[in-house]
Amino acid sequence: MATVSELLTANLHDVFGNRDAASRRAAIERTYSPDVTFTDPEGTAVGWDALEQKAAELLETVPGAFQFVEEGRRYVSETHGALAWGFGPVGAPAVRGIDVVEVRDGAVVSLTTFFAEPTESD
Protein backbone atom coordinates (compact mmCIF):
# COMPACT_ATOMS: atom_id res chain seq x y z
CA MET A 1 0.00 0.00 0.00
CA ALA A 2 1.38 3.40 -0.99
CA THR A 3 2.30 5.95 1.68
CA VAL A 4 0.92 9.47 1.72
CA SER A 5 4.35 10.75 0.63
CA GLU A 6 4.47 8.31 -2.30
CA LEU A 7 0.98 9.37 -3.36
CA LEU A 8 2.04 13.04 -3.31
CA THR A 9 4.89 12.15 -5.67
CA ALA A 10 2.62 10.15 -7.97
CA ASN A 11 0.04 12.94 -8.08
CA LEU A 12 2.54 15.63 -9.05
CA HIS A 13 4.96 13.76 -11.30
CA ASP A 14 3.22 10.61 -12.58
CA VAL A 15 -0.13 12.25 -13.26
CA PHE A 16 -0.05 16.03 -13.63
CA GLY A 17 3.55 16.14 -14.88
CA ASN A 18 3.25 13.15 -17.21
CA ARG A 19 2.77 13.87 -20.92
CA ASP A 20 2.36 10.18 -21.88
CA ALA A 21 -1.39 9.45 -21.88
CA ALA A 22 -1.14 5.68 -21.33
CA SER A 23 1.25 5.81 -18.37
CA ARG A 24 -0.65 8.81 -16.93
CA ARG A 25 -3.89 6.76 -16.97
CA ALA A 26 -2.15 3.83 -15.28
CA ALA A 27 -0.83 6.20 -12.61
CA ILE A 28 -4.32 7.64 -12.09
CA GLU A 29 -5.78 4.19 -11.50
CA ARG A 30 -3.12 3.22 -8.96
CA THR A 31 -3.01 6.61 -7.17
CA TYR A 32 -6.64 7.69 -6.73
CA SER A 33 -9.90 6.11 -5.67
CA PRO A 34 -12.36 5.70 -8.59
CA ASP A 35 -14.56 8.47 -7.13
CA VAL A 36 -11.73 10.90 -6.32
CA THR A 37 -12.69 14.55 -6.08
CA PHE A 38 -10.29 17.16 -7.48
CA THR A 39 -10.94 20.77 -6.56
CA ASP A 40 -9.03 23.77 -7.86
CA PRO A 41 -10.00 27.41 -8.50
CA GLU A 42 -11.78 26.33 -11.72
CA GLY A 43 -14.18 23.98 -9.90
CA THR A 44 -14.50 20.35 -8.87
CA ALA A 45 -14.01 17.24 -11.01
CA VAL A 46 -15.07 13.78 -9.85
CA GLY A 47 -13.65 10.42 -10.90
CA TRP A 48 -10.72 9.05 -12.87
CA ASP A 49 -11.93 10.23 -16.29
CA ALA A 50 -12.50 13.81 -15.12
CA LEU A 51 -9.11 13.90 -13.41
CA GLU A 52 -7.43 12.53 -16.52
CA GLN A 53 -9.11 15.20 -18.62
CA LYS A 54 -7.90 17.96 -16.28
CA ALA A 55 -4.30 16.72 -16.41
CA ALA A 56 -4.37 16.29 -20.20
CA GLU A 57 -5.88 19.74 -20.79
CA LEU A 58 -3.27 21.36 -18.55
CA LEU A 59 -0.35 19.71 -20.31
CA GLU A 60 -1.77 20.37 -23.80
CA THR A 61 -1.98 24.13 -23.16
CA VAL A 62 1.58 24.80 -21.99
CA PRO A 63 4.96 24.63 -23.71
CA GLY A 64 6.87 21.34 -23.60
CA ALA A 65 9.54 22.91 -21.39
CA PHE A 66 7.04 23.35 -18.56
CA GLN A 67 7.43 20.89 -15.72
CA PHE A 68 6.50 20.52 -12.08
CA VAL A 69 9.21 21.02 -9.48
CA GLU A 70 8.70 20.36 -5.79
CA GLU A 71 9.26 23.40 -3.60
CA GLY A 72 9.99 22.88 0.06
CA ARG A 73 9.05 20.19 2.51
CA ARG A 74 6.27 17.67 2.38
CA TYR A 75 3.77 17.63 5.18
CA VAL A 76 2.19 14.26 5.94
CA SER A 77 0.06 12.44 8.45
CA GLU A 78 -1.51 9.00 8.23
CA THR A 79 -4.43 10.36 6.19
CA HIS A 80 -3.40 13.73 4.72
CA GLY A 81 -0.50 15.32 2.93
CA ALA A 82 0.56 18.61 1.37
CA LEU A 83 3.22 19.42 -1.20
CA ALA A 84 4.18 22.83 -2.61
CA TRP A 85 5.24 23.03 -6.26
CA GLY A 86 6.24 25.32 -9.08
CA PHE A 87 5.19 24.85 -12.71
CA GLY A 88 6.96 26.30 -15.68
CA PRO A 89 10.46 26.31 -17.14
CA VAL A 90 13.01 24.97 -14.63
CA GLY A 91 14.21 27.84 -12.46
CA ALA A 92 11.44 30.19 -13.60
CA PRO A 93 8.04 28.82 -12.58
CA ALA A 94 5.07 30.56 -14.18
CA VAL A 95 2.79 29.50 -11.34
CA ARG A 96 3.21 28.14 -7.85
CA GLY A 97 0.78 26.19 -5.74
CA ILE A 98 0.20 23.54 -3.15
CA ASP A 99 -1.62 20.23 -3.39
CA VAL A 100 -3.44 18.86 -0.35
CA VAL A 101 -4.55 15.24 -0.43
CA GLU A 102 -6.76 13.07 1.73
CA VAL A 103 -5.88 9.37 1.63
CA ARG A 104 -7.98 6.36 2.52
CA ASP A 105 -6.97 2.70 2.08
CA GLY A 106 -3.80 3.63 0.17
CA ALA A 107 -5.51 5.85 -2.42
CA VAL A 108 -6.13 9.58 -2.77
CA VAL A 109 -9.85 10.26 -2.22
CA SER A 110 -9.63 14.03 -2.33
CA LEU A 111 -7.16 16.42 -3.98
CA THR A 112 -7.34 20.17 -3.50
CA THR A 113 -5.02 22.54 -5.34
CA PHE A 114 -4.38 26.10 -4.19
CA PHE A 115 -2.48 28.63 -6.28
CA ALA A 116 -0.04 31.06 -4.69
CA GLU A 117 -0.91 34.73 -4.86
CA PRO A 118 1.63 36.67 -6.93
CA THR A 119 4.19 38.70 -5.04
CA GLU A 120 6.12 41.76 -6.17
CA SER A 121 9.11 39.55 -7.04
CA ASP A 122 7.02 37.29 -9.34
Q: Say whether pTM exceeds 0.75.
A: yes
Pick from 9, 14, 40: which is nearest to 113 by CA?
40
Architecture of the structural domain at 4-115: Roll (3.10)
For the beta carbon of residue 112, count every other beta carbon within 10 angstroms. Answer: 15
Q: Specify the pLDDT at position 122.
A: 53
Q: Specify the pLDDT at position 57.
A: 96
Domain ranges of the chain: 4-115
Torsion of CA 50, 51, 55, 58, to 10 degrees: 60
> Beta partners for 37?
46, 110
- What does the pLDDT profile of the chain (122 residues) look like in tens digits? 899 999 999 999 999 999 999 999 999 999 999 999 999 999 999 999 999 999 999 999 999 999 999 999 999 999 999 999 999 998 999 999 999 999 999 999 999 999 998 876 65
